[in-house]
């Protein structure tokens, strides 16, 4: 579904990001994954190359909070592969601190990675996509961007912002043949969720009409669809992948 395409995936060393990288590789894309640390990036790349030596996958570890570092990393992908067809902004952090206990520095940290970093990756990528005649930008949102959450206001605030950026850029960049969409995962079996005791997991499952927690591959499948030509007339969408959870 992505044969011949070049993709960049941030937060690509584990969880949803790693599953997305693998799904893209399985479908013919060349992928550069971004991670926060050199050692985790190299470990992820080595794992993928061991699984299939024919996959074209590389890694980089720019500070996503530094616009110049991000622009340089994006530029190097263009230099190496000649284009960037797909950008997946998946890197992010969450928090559940109650408002009266919130450290303003923690709020800034969430907004910096979950919102500002998207701007830093998108801006240089858009210039490349315009030059080549089009592309696809995908952002990881969350079900709490629709429903909110009872504590940790920084996280849903950041994801509401992701939705706003997605929809606005879809309108701005559509005339340049650049599609912009977001995926809003529900409760997904990332490392953090998988570590929870069963006594906490079971009540969560009961809130999900499909009666299971999402797998990273479920979210990766949504990214694959939106990145592919099957979604060529879809832009400005926030696709919920949450088992019909509404909380």
The rounded Cα 170 to chain-centroid distance in angstroms is 16
Asked whether the beta carbons of 71 and 124 are under 8 A apart, the reply is yes
Work out the burial of residue 132: count CB atoms within 10 Å of its CB; fewer than 13 is exposed, 13-18 middle, 19 or more buried: middle
The span from the CA of 145 to the CA of 126, in Å, is 24
Angular region, 80: left φ>0, alpha ψ -120 to 50, beta rest: alpha
**Residues labelled as active-site residues:** 155
Residues in the chain: 247
Return the sign of the alpha-carbon dihedral for residues 99, 14, 8, 33: positive
Q: Which one, of 223, 112, 126, 104, lies nearest residue 161 by Cα? A: 112
Residues in CB range of 136: below 8 A, 6 or more apart: 85, 86, 87, 178, 179, 180, 181, 226, 227
């Amino acid at each position: 579904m992505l044969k011949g395409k070049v993709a960049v995936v941030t937060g690509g060393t584990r969880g949803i990001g790693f599953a997305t990288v693998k799904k893209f590789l399985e479908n013919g894309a060349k992928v550069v994954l971004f991670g926060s640390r050199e050692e985790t990036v190299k470990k992820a790349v080595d794992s993928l190359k061991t699984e299939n030596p024919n996959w074209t996958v590389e890694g980089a570890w720019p500070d996503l909070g530094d616009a110049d570092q991000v622009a340089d990393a994006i530029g190097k992908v263009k230099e190496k592969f000649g284009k960037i067809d797909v950008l997946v902004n998946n890197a992010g952090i969450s928090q559940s601190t109650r408002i009266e206990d919130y450290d303003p520095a923690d709020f800034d940290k969430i907004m910096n990675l979950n919102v500002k970093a998207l701007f830093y990756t998108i801006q240089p990528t858009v210039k490349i996509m315009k030059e080549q005649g089009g592309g696809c930008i995908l952002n990881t949102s969350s079900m709490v961007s629709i429903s909110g959450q009872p504590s940790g206001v920084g996280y849903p605030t950041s994801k509401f912002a992701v939705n706003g950026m997605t929809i606005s850029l879809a309108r701005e960049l559509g005339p340049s043949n650049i599609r912009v969409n977001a995926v809003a995962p529900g409760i997904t079996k990332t490392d953090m969720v998988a570590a929870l005791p069963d006594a906490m997991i079971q009540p969560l499952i009961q809130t999900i009409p499909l009666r299971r927690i999402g797998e990273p591959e479920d979210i990766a499948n949504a990214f694959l669809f939106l990145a592919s030509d099957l979604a060529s007339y879809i832009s400005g969408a926030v696709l919920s992948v949450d088992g019909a959870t509404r909380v």
